[in-house]
Structure 1
Amino acid sequence: MQILNQAVSLRIFLGENDQFDGKPLYEAIVMTARERHLAGATVLRGPMGFGKSSRLHTSKILRLSEDLPLLIEIVDSEDNINAFLPILDGMMSSGLITLEKVQVLQYGEKAAR
Structure 2
Amino acid sequence: MQIPKQAILLRIFIGEDDQCNGSPLYEAIVLKAREQHLAGATVLRGPMGFGKSSRLHTTKILRLSEDLPLVIEIVDSEENINGFLPVLDGIMTSGLITLEKVQVLRYGEQAMA
TM-score by length of 1: 0.90
Corresponding residue for residue 14 of structure 2: 14
Task: Report the secondary structure of 1:31's partner residue.
Answer: helix
**What displacement does 1:110 show?**
3.5
Gaps of 5+ in 1: none
Percentage identity across aligned positions? 78
* Distance in 2 separating the partners of 1:85 and 1:110: 29
Count of residues in correspondence between the two structures: 107
Report the AA paired with residue 47 of structure 2: P
Unaligned runs of 5+ in 2: none
CA apart distance, 1:66: 1.9
What corresponds to 1:88 in structure 2? 88
Per-residue displacement from partner, 1:18-66 (whole Å, max 9, x unpaired)?
Answer: 0001100000000000000000000000000000000000011x44452
CA RMSD of aligned residues (A): 1.3
Runs (4+) of structure 1 exceeding 3 A deviation are 62-65
Instruction: Give the structure-2-normalised TM-score.
Output: 0.90
Give, in whole Å, the separation in 1 of the partners of 2:35 and 2:90. Answer: 16
Q: Distance in 1 between matches of 2:7 and 2:43?
A: 19
Distance in 2 between residues matched to 1:83 and 1:23, nearest whole Å: 23
5 Å-filtered alignment, 1:1-113, equals 5-60=5-60, 62-64=61-63, 65-110=65-110
Q: Deviations over 1:68-104 (max 9, x none)?
A: 0000000000000000000101110000000000000
Q: Secondary structure at the match of 2:30?
A: helix
